[in-house]
């Protein structure tokens, strides 16, 4: 797939180019929904989230978790011998988000943002909070909330894109910030675009940051 944004994309940022062909060589499963507060509690025995004041809070995405917190969750989950779970690479995330599209959003160009709120929780109609997963329209591969609701941590350190076509990119070997993607309930449309990139130090927590999981396909019985 082609990763990044063309220079004429509306509201693009300067770290989204060059657009280049990225090949993902290994199949993987990506969770249909963001990890919920209930799922976090089952593994961790506690809930760090801020948005716990609604009757259906258990189905809201977990929030207020750092990249480091996600690693601890994954470590405990993997110890249960259910398979090998991890965060997606940035390339895997954008590949899954786009779901075969090359437009500004996975639902189309939507240059006037008239379709945005049918597809994503974002500013200004998210009421200043996260919402239960799966309420908006999914992308073409039946993945929900790839745009909006909460940012989703990825495995990679943040760094510039390579200029050439790339096989299974994993970002730089080290850095100051870990990538997270997708925008959130707090963000305006520019941040919810499929190519948008952002990041924070791995110990940063925020009320609009969560994650979803990859299950490595070699660990799934046929």
Task: Write out pLDDT tens, residues 88-136.
Answer: 999 999 999 999 999 999 999 999 999 999 999 999 999 999 999 999 9
Distance from C-alpha of 211 to C-alpha of 67, rounded to nearest angstrom: 9
Cα–Cα nearest to 155, from 97, 85, 217: 85
**pLDDT tens digits along 157-167:** 999 999 999 99
pLDDT computed for residue 220 by the predictor: 54
Predicted confidence at residue 218, as pLDDT, reads 78
Confidence (pLDDT) at 222: 47
How far is residue 219 from each of residues 27, 81, 87, measured CA to CA in Å?
12, 10, 15
The angle formed by the CA atoms of residues 80, 134 and 30, to the nearest 5 degrees, is 45
pTM above 0.85, yes or no: yes
> DSSP labels for 31-69?
-SSPPBHHHHHHHHSS---S---STTGGGSBP-S--HHH
Q: What is the pLDDT of residue 219?
A: 53
Sheet holding 178-181, edge to edge: 198-200, 178-181, 151-157, 209-210
What whole-number distance in Å separates Cα of residue 123 and Cα of residue 146? 15
- Provide mean pLDDT across the span 41-66: 97
pLDDT higher than 90, residue 58: yes
d(CA 129, CA 185): 6
Q: In this structure, what DSSP letter does residue 104 have?
A: S
- What does the mean pLDDT of the chain come to? 96
pLDDT confidence of residue 186: 97
């Amino acid at each position: 797939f082609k990763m990044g944004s063309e220079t004429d994309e509306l509201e693009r940022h300067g770290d989204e180019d060059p657009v280049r062909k990225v090949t993902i060589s290994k199949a993987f499963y990506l969770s249909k929904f963001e990890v919920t507060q209930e799922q976090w509690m089952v593994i961790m025995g506690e809930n760090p989230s801020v948005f716990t004041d609604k009757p259906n809070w258990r189905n809201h995405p977990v929030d207020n978790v750092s990249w480091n917190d996600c690693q601890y969750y994954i470590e405990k989950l993997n110890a249960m011998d259910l398979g090998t779970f991890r965060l997606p690479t940035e390339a895997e995330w954008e590949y899954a988000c786009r779901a075969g599209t090359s437009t500004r959003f996975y639902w189309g160009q939507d240059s006037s943002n008239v379709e945005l709120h049918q597809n994503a929780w974002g500013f200004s109609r998210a009421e200043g909070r996260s919402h239960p997963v799966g309420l908006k329209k999914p992308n073409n591969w039946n993945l929900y909330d790839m745009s909006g609701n909460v940012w989703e941590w990825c495995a990679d350190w943040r760094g510039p894109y390579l200029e050439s076509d790339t096989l299974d990119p994993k970002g730089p070997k080290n850095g100051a910030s870990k990538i997270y993607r997708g925008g959130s309930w707090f963000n305006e449309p520019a941040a919810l675009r499929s190519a948008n990139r952002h990041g924070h130090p791995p110990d940063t927590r925020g009320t609009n940051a969560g994650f979803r999981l990859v299950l490595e396909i070699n660990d799934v019985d046929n």
